[in-house]
Structure 1
């Protein structure tokens, strides 16, 4: 078996985040938890993943403080709930680029009015919308 590269010692927050939730099964488990899945069987039915893989990913999410296991339920922690913007960003990117025009797909709706969410925007500290060209990464000297 190939040994997985670890990024938990990296100074880059993206690398460390990917180390925790970067594989597709983990992100899809988190998505399903936001959608109301709580039990092992719920996740397995939704994902169609092998039990051993699902068990390993659930254990990893628990070990990293994203899910907690209470009785028979898997519940998002505050750290897990903080992934909501990440899941929404992936969903909105997929809606824009992973489907043909007018191809049907699931939608994330506001429970209060039944309408889709506005596209996420990134804002500077002063509140203005900001693009990638208007940002820079200050890397640590090594």
Structure 2
């Protein structure tokens, strides 16, 4: 788990954290890095965490899947999958929906949690469960 702040630079910190947690040889590293980058970017751009508020990233590995949660302060609007591939932005959740095996969103006392899981096969995967 890593605590970030709601600024654009946090997306890069989140990508580096995932690379370290999973290791370069992990079979779904690229997919998880991309999706984490999209969710953290959404948090620092669209949630009430933007401008320096709290954003937390948790990653774990269990039963052949990498599970990720991004927690932010939420906002009045719910995250939505936007499918217009020709728009300038707004494809983050479209990618999460297309690449992950499962994903969702819920609210808790600390704000909003957007989560996803990506399944994998193959040996050599690290045990990220100790990280989060």
| TM-score band w.r.t. shorter chain | under 0.3
By relative contact order (CA 8 Å, sep 6+), the higher-ranking structure is 2
Structure number with higher helix proportion: 1
TM-score by length of 1: 0.26
How high is the TM-score relative to the length of structure 2? 0.28
The structure richer in strand per residue is 2
